[in-house]
Amino acid sequence: MAILSSLPGIQVTVCVGGQDAPEHDDNDMEPNPEPNLVSSYIEAETMMEFSIKLIVQDPFNLSYPTLGFQIYVDGVKVREPLLRRVIFEKANGYWESMWGGIKLSTGDDQENCVERPFKFSEIHTSTDDENLDALETDKSLMNKVGEIVVKLHRRHKSHFIGPKVEHDAPLDAPPSVVHEKALKGQAKSHGIALGQARASRFSRKFEANFMDGEGKPIAVFRFKYRDQKAFRSLLAIRRPAEPHDEPASRTASPEPVQQDIINIANFNPQEKRQIQDLCRMFQSGAVPRAPAVKEENPSARAALKRTRVEDATVEATVEATSHQTKKMKKKERPTKGRPTFIDLTDE
């Protein structure tokens, strides 16, 4: 659901399979985007039908005669609904409308028609150089593919002109296979095609002039559709974290090794008696038990370390004192005709 803060109460949503499509932030926005532009990514699923849901509700203030919408898919304008102020007021400030396809005339009765729904169509790439002849055409088509855009305009009072009759579908299906060079640098995976026709009825067609000009919409809602793989390449959504083994703790104790268990039932009667006699000897104290390994006390280990350090310090002190004493003795030799001085200052 796309919302523009400057126009509270207006919501534009793409529904896929009857459900609101999850939206993801568009991190590839232009350096200086228009202030009235809302852009997001949605996920495209091959052959799934989709529709555009429009909602206008309080607190939006429809202060002009008509609010106009223009719906574009892959750069082609396919629908142009209008919300008249009189209708909005009769609905107590709530209007909702779904637009999921193009209505075409059957040629016999203007009231009856068929509707061909919008659907996502997968685009395959080829490395066959035989398709290079159509490379420029493919590039031109692919530049328009991948977006659903809804523009809003302020309009003057509308007037009824009759049923909306379409004889030719304005939307052509994208090519199913294009050369990979046509998509170079573009993470696009799908285009939009029209599904099978189903019976419908024509809508009434109204027209209204633009108050600010067609090139000055008051809001633009843009949805870039991609598949899951393209999402990951664009980093629009994060890749799922790969499972990995937790690093072993340095202080973790090693797992005990399971030893073989002796089953006494497997011994013969004589061996069983010998084992019983041996157990009695252990219990009576006739056989000395192996002394238990005394666990080293950390405080004792620290005390031992201090003792060794102190011993080393004493030894170094004794050696230094002995060396200094020798120097003093050497200086004590009297010099003939001169007084004797003893230097007790460290170097």
Say if 264 falls within a structural domain.
no
Res. 72: pLDDT tops 70: yes
Q: Which two tokens stand for residue 203?
A: 């809508």
Summarised one tens digit per residue, pLDDT across range 280-289 is: 766 666 655 5
Say if 103 falls within a structural domain.
yes
What are 118's strand-pairing partners?
50, 194
Mean pLDDT throughout 311-332?
47
pLDDT value at residue 62: 95
The conformation of residue 179, written as its DSSP 8-state character, comes to E
Say if 201 falls within a structural domain.
yes
> Any residues with CB less than 8 A from the CB of 340 and at least 6 apart, and which?
332, 334
Summarised one tens digit per residue, pLDDT across range 148-171 is: 999 999 999 999 887 776 767 777
Summarised one tens digit per residue, pLDDT across range 82-122 is: 999 999 999 999 999 999 998 888 776 666 788 999 999 88
Q: Which two tokens stand for residue 12?
A: 């534009």
In angstroms, the first-to-last Cα distance of the chain is 84
What are 116's strand-pairing partners?
102
Domain that holds residue 48: 2-234
Say if 210 falls within a structural domain.
yes
6, with CB counted inside 10 A (0-12, 13-18, 19+), is exposed
Say if 332 falls within a structural domain.
no
pLDDT band (50, 70, 90) for residue 332? very low
Say if 272 falls within a structural domain.
no
Mean pLDDT throughout 187-212?
87
> Any residues with CB less than 8 A from the CB of 194 and at least 6 apart, and which?
101, 102, 116, 117, 118, 119, 169, 171, 173
Residue at 284: amino acid letter:
S
Percent of the chain with pLDDT over 90: 32
User: What is the C-alpha radius of gyration for the chain, rounded to an integer number of angstroms?
Assistant: 44
The model carries a pTM of 0.64
The residue among 142 and 212 whose pLDDT is bigger is 212
Summarised one tens digit per residue, pLDDT across range 122-144 is: 877 777 776 666 677 777 777 77
Summarised one tens digit per residue, pLDDT across range 4-55 is: 788 999 999 999 989 999 888 887 766 666 778 999 999 888 889 999 999 9
Buried b (16+ CB within 10 A) or exposed e, 28-59: eeeeeeeebbbbbbbbbbeebbbbbbbbbbee
Averaged pLDDT score across all residues of the chain: 75
pLDDT value at residue 177: 73
Say if 144 falls within a structural domain.
yes
The answer to whether 10 and 56 are in contact (CB under 8 A) is yes
Q: Which of 86-95, 195-204, 247-256, 282-291 has the lowest mean pLDDT?
A: 247-256
Over 91-118, what HEC string results? Answer: CCCEEEEEECEEEEECCCCCCEEEEEEE
The residue among 242 and 225 whose pLDDT is bigger is 225
To which H or E segment does residue 286 belong? none
Q: How many domains does the chain have?
A: 1
Say if 119 falls within a structural domain.
yes
pLDDT band (50, 70, 90) for residue 341? very low
